Chain A
Amino acid sequence: MTTAPSTAASAPVVTVRDLHKSFGSNAVLRGIDLEVVPGEVVCVIGPSGSGKSTLLRCVNQLESATSGTVTVLGAEITDPDINIDVVRQHVGMVFQQFNLFTHQTVLENCTVAQRKVLKRSKKKATEVALENLARVGLADRGDSHPTQLSGGQQQRVAIARALSMNPSLMLFDEPTSALDPELVGDVLTVMRDLAEQGMTMIVVTHEMAFAREVADRVVFMDGGVVVESGPPEQVIGAPREARTRAFLDRVLNPTHSGTEPGAGPETTGTV
């Protein structure tokens, strides 16, 4: 057992030291150092296969580190004697594929862990769940089943489900990558509001506009290492490293041609 993780004022929420992770002979993370302080929003960007998602999954031990240490909310989760379940209660995770419990309604999705893990009463859990569903704009969909919702709505429910545990840290693993373009905006709006309310967040994303606007810090990863890290206006606006520039060039100008696709009616509202 661990004591409840301490959240002392300025102690970092997450500290990653020399983290290595290999799947068989495939080294995905090759020495990552990262520190996230309370209230900070860190966006992790980089090409696919760069290890961003693996890094995020190591922060709540969905993947176990091959070597190095990960400390979350004061608990060194790479220590095998740490009860990871206790740490995870305080760390919300949002997945690319939403992963809502398909056998439960939206409301049940948001109350089940509160009741079974935090042992909250049904009344209290429902209260908290409805509060968080309202926060993501879905207070009226409590009785729906996940499959009756659009992808964007499902992802917002997933965020409400994580928030219902009153986490101290939120992890987002490419939360908009599986969404139709017109649904991305709603999810990003919810995430931006959350950031403004002071939530500590690590966001793995391909949404450069979001990273530029919301992140306190952008981390660019490639080949299992952090290539460049700093405020968004530096990393995205004026990258120092050639690899960062090459990546951003590919992402921001995917066609590499002078022709503009023409301003369609599609507006991906990051507002």
Chain B
Amino acid sequence: MTTPDAAPSTVAPVTAVEARTRMSPRKRAKISRGIQYGLLVVAVVILAVAIDWGRVGDQIFNVEAAKDLAPKIPQAFLNTLTYTAAAFAVGLSLGIVLALMKLSSVGVYRWLATAYIEFFRGIPALLVVIAFAYAVPIALGVSIPSLTLKAALALGMVSAAYIAETLRAGIEAVPPGQIEAARSLGMSHSRTLVTVVIPQAFRIVLPPMTNEIILLTKDTSLIYLMGLLPTQFDLTKIGRDALSSGSGGGLTGLFVAGLGYLCITIPLGLLARWLEKRTGKGSRS
């Protein structure tokens, strides 16, 4: 048996030997990084060789075709923005109502909200857009005159289902202590909701809500199904028309439309991140 004094000196060398013979985590990480860079280089080389750059330049990145399209872009860009903003206004308003219904103490409201959410979350936005274009006029005997309103209602009703769930989760994530503090200052239930819960939930739901707006932006591409006048064309419609007109440039129109969407969604993402940082100053304790 070893004496207590001898124990450290017999254990340590064994550990040291083993620690040297097995590959160190740092060395392994270095090798892993090397492999990843290698794969990247291989992929780039394969793509560069496989792609027919001449045809790509002619059919996808055709600068001349893009220039022809340019005058139509600002209006289409603006239209897409308008449809998105209007649909989001509807989606957010309805989403707030639905979220509050889901949190209501009255069972019927909870049930109705759940049914709405499950229904509109479960069917494609495309169907709702078509329904608004054709079914609503048949059912109500009136057609909604404004295209923007029609689009906002159709897309807003779909996104309200998602927004409601996001808001509900955000509201439930507000720490109970915040609500107790507000109530103990004499604020009523609804005053607490407006003054404390919703502003704090807003910060929590900012990232998922950004996703909602981005999805909505892209969903506005569906409203061509409602039938558009040339002044009502959105980015996708412009791109599709350029493709089918056979005026040369091939898919360039779609590429330009895609860039248009990115010009909306990327700043949105940046704005959300900035807002998050700004409101995050007093992050949750």
Contact = CB atoms under 8 A, between A and B. Distances in A.
The answer to whether A and B belong to the same complex is yes
Interface of A: 60, 62, 85-86, 88-89, 91-93, 95, 97-105, 112-113, 116-118, 145-148, 154, 158, 161-162, 165
**What class of interface size applies to chain B in its complex with A?**
20 to 34
B186 A95 contact: no
A99 B283 contact: no
A103 B181 contact: no
B281 A99 contact: no
B284 A95 contact: no
A102 B186 contact: no
A161 B188 CA distance: 17
A148 B283 CA distance: 10
A145 B281 contact: yes
Contacts of A99: 175, 177-178, 180-181
B199 interface: yes
B166 to A, nearest CB: 18
A158 B184 CA distance: 12
A113 B182 CA distance: 8
A62 B281 CA distance: 29
Given A98-B285, A103-B200, A145-B281, A60 B184 contact: yes
From B178, B180, B181, residue with most partner A Cβ within 10 Å: B181
Contact of B195 (A62, A112, A154, A165): A112
B203 interface: yes
A88 B282 contact: no
B149 to A, nearest CB: 34
Given A99-B181, A102-B282, 19 more contacts: A62-B180, A62-B183, A86-B186, A88-B185, A92-B184, A95-B181, A99-B177, A101-B181, A103-B199, A104-B282, A112-B185, A113-B182, A113-B185, A113-B187, A117-B191, A146-B282, A147-B281, A147-B282, A165-B185
Interface in B247-279: 279
Contacts of B191: 116-117
A102 B203 CA distance: 11
B126 interface: no
B185 A97 contact: no
A162 B199 CA distance: 21
* Dominant secondary structure of chain B at its interface with chain A: helix
Given A102-B178, A103-B200, A97 B187 contact: no
The 6 nearest A-B residue pairs measured at CB: A89-B186, A145-B282, A113-B185, A99-B181, A93-B184, A99-B177
Given A95-B180, A116-B195, A102 B185 contact: no
B196 A101 contact: yes
Nearest to A91: B184
30 contacts: A60-B184, A62-B180, A85-B188, A86-B186, A88-B185, A88-B186, A89-B186, A95-B177, A97-B177, A97-B285, A98-B285, A99-B175, A100-B285, A101-B182, A101-B196, A101-B200, A102-B200, A102-B285, A103-B196, A103-B203, A103-B279, A113-B182, A113-B185, A117-B191, A145-B281, A146-B285, A148-B282, A154-B285, A161-B185, A162-B185
A86 B191 CA distance: 13
A162 B180 CA distance: 13
Contacts of B285: 97-98, 100, 102, 146-147, 154
A165 B200 CA distance: 23
Interface string B193-218: 00110011001000000000000000
B279 A62 contact: no
Contacts of A112: 185, 195
Contacts of A118: 186
A161 to B, nearest CB: 7
Contacts of B183: 62, 85, 88
Interface string B24-67: 00000000000000000000000000000000000000000000
Contacts of B188: 85
A113 B282 contact: no
A116 B185 CA distance: 10
Nearest to B177: A99
B282 A103 contact: yes
